[in-house]
């Protein structure tokens, strides 16, 4: 019998899961325990998991249909997996700003998984932030103001576009030069827990629907600063064979770019989601 144990790593979100060998087929009860841990802690981590790409895919499929990332091609034999790499000579890391994955799509992923192949001896941690907590700590007046608003999300914002350039150059996806745009509620209701959370992010949210970028900027800038306050976050230090699984509907993340001259190589899978409401 497998005994799943959950060890929170911070007050806001995040937990390490022990007692699970992800290289083996998992019983339905174990999958249910892992899913509940994700709902409870928003991002969960497993260490010391020697996985092949096929085993990684098999684990991810227990939680939904696998998605595709439009800008970077997947592995030749496993197109569901993209490689997230920063080479020693590169200065920019992939996705190195606060964001929720691909909110410029009409149906952003429900979650993402990242698996560590090579990590620097120090640095390269990932920060995560709890968007339920960020919303709940706003004043009632601000919550009322945000409730009816919708925001336009774009794949073309400059700060995040620059972080994709190295990987697009080495492994361009079929839609590498396209621009995607989608409009979503500023306050999202989680489809499983029913909790409300902020659903705007620095990387992709360009403006409020019906407003210009200039008109939107003051309130968006406040929200971008507010939602990543230290008390809403956790920090994960990667080790080889570690795997992170985050709920993209209720978190943001930011990979720290503090390991110039060293290799960091990861594999990523996204799990298809629904239209935010």
pLDDT-derived band at 70 (thresholds 50, 70, 90) equals: confident
* Residue 277 located in a structural domain: no
- The CATH number covering residue 162 comes to 3.60.130.10
Catalytic (active-site) positions? 99, 101, 253, 268
Higher pLDDT, 111 or 177: 111
Higher pLDDT, 237 or 177: 237
* Residue 167 located in a structural domain: yes
* Residue 199 located in a structural domain: yes
Q: DSSP string of 99-126?
A: B-TTTTSSS--SEEEEEEEE--SS---E
* Residue 104 located in a structural domain: yes
Task: List Cβ neighbours of 143 (8 Å cut-off, separation of 6 or more).
Answer: 135, 187
What is the model's pTM? Answer: 0.95
Q: Are 104 and 204 in contact (CB under 8 A)?
A: yes
pLDDT digits (tens, 9 = 90+) for 241-257: 999 999 999 999 999 99
pLDDT digits (tens, 9 = 90+) for 122-160: 999 999 999 999 999 999 999 999 999 999 999 988 777
User: Which residue, 101, 95, 98, is CA-closest to 202?
Assistant: 98
* Residue 276 located in a structural domain: no
pLDDT digits (tens, 9 = 90+) for 91-121: 999 899 999 999 999 999 999 999 999 999 9
Higher pLDDT, 18 or 73: 18
Domain that holds residue 63: 5-271
Total domains in the fold of the chain: 1
C-alpha 162/C-alpha 245 separation (Å) is 25
* Residue 163 located in a structural domain: yes
pLDDT-derived band at 171 (thresholds 50, 70, 90) equals: confident
Q: Strand ranges (DSSP E) for the chain?
A: 5-8, 15-18, 43-46, 82-86, 111-118, 126-130, 150-154, 181-185, 187-189, 196-198, 205-208, 233-236, 243-247, 251-255, 264-271
Task: Provide the 3-class DSSP secondary structure of residue 168.
Answer: helix
C-alpha 199/C-alpha 102 separation (Å) is 12
């Amino acid at each position: 019998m497998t005994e799943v144990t959950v060890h929170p790593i911070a007050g806001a979100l995040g937990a390490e899961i022990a007692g699970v060998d992800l290289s083996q087929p998992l019983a339905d009860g174990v999958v249910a325990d892992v899913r509940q841990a994700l709902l409870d802690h928003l991002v969960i981590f497993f260490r010391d998991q020697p996985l092949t790409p096929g085993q990684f895919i098999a684990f991810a499929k227990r939680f939904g249909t696998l998605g595709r990332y439009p800008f970077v091609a997947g592995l030749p034999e496993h197109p569901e997996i993209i490689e997230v790499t920063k080479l020693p000579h590169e200065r920019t890391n992939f996705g190195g700003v606060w964001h929720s994955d691909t909110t410029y799509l009409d149906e952003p992923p429900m979650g993402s998984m990242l698996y560590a192949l090579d990590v620097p001896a120090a640095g390269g941690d990932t920060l995560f932030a709890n968007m339920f907590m960020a919303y709940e700590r706003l004043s009632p007046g601000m919550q009322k103001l945000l409730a009816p608003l919708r925001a336009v999300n774009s794949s073309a914002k400059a700060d995040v576009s620059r972080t994709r350039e190295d990987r697009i150059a080495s492994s361009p996806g079929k839609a590498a030069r396209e621009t995607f745009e989608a409009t979503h509620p500023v306050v999202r209701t989680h489809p499983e827990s029913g909790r409300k959370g902020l659903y705007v992010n620095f990387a992709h949210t360009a403006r409020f629907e019906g407003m210009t970028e200039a008109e939107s900027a003051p309130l968006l800038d406040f929200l971008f600063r507010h939602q990543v306050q230290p008390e809403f976050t956790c920090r994960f230090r990667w080790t080889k064979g570690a795997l992170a699984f985050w709920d993209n509907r209720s978190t943001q993340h930011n990979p720290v770019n503090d390991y110039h001259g060293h290799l960091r190589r990861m594999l990523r899978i996204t799990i298809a989601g629904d239209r935010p409401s």
